[in-house]
Amino acid sequence: MSAFSLHPQLQQYTILLGAFPLSLLLLMNDSNYPWFILVPQRADIFEVHALDDSDRRQLWDESALLSRALTRAFSPDKLNIAALGNQVPQLHVHHIVRFTHDPAWPAPVWGKLPPRTYYSAESAKLARLLTPLLGDSFSQA
């Protein structure tokens, strides 16, 4: 088995915010939506069911922790959570904060609008907002 490395497409289109014990926490570099991604730091894993039992429980625990933090920080109308992998095969779980007034509502966000990249101050502000809500197991990048 090879060592873990982040898929090049995720490296290109996201900003690293930090890490939980299992997963990296990434911010999709598209300020149209608060859009976060968890990536388990395990090599050659493409599906949730391929994780061992302990890692699978840890991923869902981290997803729940992130979901609660996003709900507290943004008070969304809906929180979309998905592990698709159609374009990036590495296992990753999207957490997209949705509002009835967002530009894609009620459609999926993919391809609806061109991405608007974050200014570094904006992504830093999001990190400062979320970090205290993510608990002691999260370490900021």
pTM score of the predicted model: 0.96
CB 69 within 8 A of CB 133: yes
Burial class from Cβ neighbours inside 10 Å (0-12, 13-18, 19+) for residue 123 reads: middle
Q: What is the pLDDT of residues 69-116, one digit of tens each?
A: 999 999 999 999 999 989 999 999 999 999 999 999 999 998 899 999
> N- to C-terminal Cα distance for the chain?
26
Q: What is the pLDDT of residues 118-139, one digit of tens each?
A: 999 999 999 999 999 999 999 9
Mean pLDDT of the residues in the chain: 96
How is 48-107 classified by DSSP, letter by letter? GGGS-HHHHHHHHHHHHHHHHHHHHHH--SEEEEE---SS--S--EEEEEE-TTSTTTTS
In our burial notation (b when 16+ CB lie closer than 10 A, e otherwise), range 81-93 reads: eeeeeeebebbbb
* Other residues' Cβ atoms within 10 Å of the Cβ of residue 130: 23
Per-residue confidence (pLDDT) for residue 2, from 0 to 100: 80
